[in-house]
Amino acid sequence: MNKNSFSRGLFVGVIITVVLLVGSLGSMLVLDVAHLGQLVEVIHKVKIYSFSPVSLEGMIDGAMNGIVESLDDVYSDYLHPGEYQDLEEHISGTYGGIGLLITESENNSLMVVSPFKGTPAYKAGIKTGDKIIEINGRDAAELGLAKSASLMKGEPGTEVNLTVITKEGGSENNKEYNIVRELIHIPSVEGERLGENKEIAYLNLMMFSQQTGEDLESLLKEITVDTAKGVILDLRDNPGGALDAALDVVGYFIPQGPAVHIVSKEEERALSTSDNYIDKPLVVLVNEGSASASEIVAGAIKDTGSGTLVGTKTFGKGLVQSVFEIRSGAALKLTTAKYLTPNRHDINKKGIHPDITIKMDPELERKAILMAPDLENDLQLQRAVEILKEY
């Protein structure tokens, strides 16, 4: 089973989505006519006198980017329509495509980490370890990872052509696939039973999308967690996601009660869990890639004493972003609040220290997480299993 590394490098913090269609600048005009007049004057002079060509749309986009950059907040952004669509797909957990998890390997070639089960790529026969060399006739190595992933996405019902190097019978062969895109559900959690007697339930949570609560509920039934001796929750390299999803998840791992405090300009409120608590010995794996929504879950478990944290200090992102939709399919992503753990710890830029610190060689750790669960090489996972066997 493979860790879904597609989320690495993409923004997923604690997200609240808000729809706000901006109609006019009337109130802003009342507030500061002079500065808005200066902005109009700058746009006019650049358009008339600048030797470098620039469109009116480009100047306005630049002005909007500048407004957000003036906040000096790395988590706030003006999102162009394409960027907003990517974020929406990531939060919703669905997109139009063929269902491949890919990564870059040596010589900039693209390797298939895994096809998602039941997707067009899976049904076509593409396998883990296959190398993608062309996408719609274009060299995949020259395209790079991000562009290649983008080309494989598209409207359900449309077709993409792949040329793939695959191993069969000890030799490598080129194969061409014409694959029709479908609506793909991105799996946000995977799991299985570990141990000689399969007595430990291992849950690998890769992101917090709007589907994560349902995914986790289904998985817990599938691996019959109620018969397990203990549970391992792997949050390593999980960069976060939707706030509601974090609350859905943490409800399984702490008793009913406050899970997080949200502090905004207007108010402070405690958000509580639902009554889904699994009363089992619990170990949570964390590292510096565990951020935001992952830290809400890890912090609640640590504060309530519901489990043991193993690994290294988490990232330290204790801020909440809201996404405001504006005209033409663009959006603003703004930091609108911070959060505190149940015991009111502010973890922003501090992170959460595990109960048991186990450091690994970074490259070995990356490979172990990617191929999770890797009981042979993963020292942090080995320690988690040892802890649960003591119960």
Write down the residue that tokens 């790395």 correspond to: 74
Which H helix or E strand runs over 289? none
* SS3 state of residue 134: strand
CB 208 within 8 A of CB 241: yes
3 is catalytic: no
Catalytic residue among 290, 292, 294, 306: 292
Instruction: Choose the catalytic residue: 131, 280, 302, 317.
Output: 317
**What is residue 292's three-state secondary structure?**
coil
Instruction: Identify the residue whose tokens are 């992102």.
Output: 317
Report how far residue 225's alpha carbon sits from residue 233's, in angstroms, rounded to the nearest whole number.
12
**Token reading at 182:** 């479908």
Q: Is 292 a catalytic residue?
A: yes
230's tokens = 């203990």
Which residue type, as a one-letter code, is found at position 6?
F
246, two tokens: 């974090």
Q: Which of 86, 237, 303, 378 is catalytic?
A: 303
Q: Establish whether 303 is a catalytic residue.
A: yes
Cα 251 off chain centre by: 20
358-373: buried (b, 16+ CB within 10 Å) or exposed (e) per residue? bebeeeebbbbbbebb
- Cβ neighbors of 104 (< 8 A, separation 6 or more) are 110, 111, 144, 145
Residues known to be catalytic: 292, 303, 317
